[in-house]
Amino acid sequence: MPIKNNVQVKFGTGDVGAVLAYSEENNWGMIQFEEIEQLPIGDVVANDSPTTSVNDAPVSLVFEKVESIDVVLFQLGRLRDLMAGSNIYEVKKRKYKVKNSKSPSN
C-alpha cells in the first residue's frame, strides 16, 4: 500500500525541516519532514544526526523513480502558480509531459 497514514503538514511558518536521503545501491531517494525550531523560511539547518530510516520521521516521501519526482514537482509548480495569483483555468489546462529519466549529459 503506497499510502500508510493520513498525515497533514502545514508549511509556511518556518518550523518544518526537510532532510534528504539517497541510496544508490537500492535506487531510491527520500525526503523527510520533521518539526524543527521556527526559523526564517529557507534557512539551512545544520543536522548532525539526520533521520535516514523511513520509519524515523513523521513524514517520509520515498521515490523509486525519477518520473515520480517530476510529477510531484509539476503539481507543486501548478499550486505555486495558483497561490501566486495565476488564473485557475489556465493552470488546470497545463498537462504533464513525460520526461526522459536519464540524467542530462554535461
Note down the domain range covering 88: 66-97
| Same-domain pairing of 47 and 90 | no
15's CB contacts (< 8 A; 6+ apart) are: 35, 36, 37, 38, 39
From the list 71, 77, 57, 66, the residue with the least C-alpha distance to 17 is 57
| Same-domain pairing of 13 and 51 | yes
pLDDT of residue 74: 93
Is residue 18 within 8 Å of residue 41, measured between CB atoms?
no
CA–CA gap between residue 58 and residue 60 (Å, rounded): 7
CA–CA gap between residue 34 and residue 46 (Å, rounded): 14
Count of structural domains within the chain: 2
CA–CA gap between residue 17 and residue 34 (Å, rounded): 5
Residue 105 domain-assigned (yes or no): no
Query: What confidence tier does 104 reach under pLDDT thresholds 50, 70, 90?
Result: very low
What is the reported pTM? 0.76
| Same-domain pairing of 54 and 91 | no
Average of pLDDT values for 60-73?
93
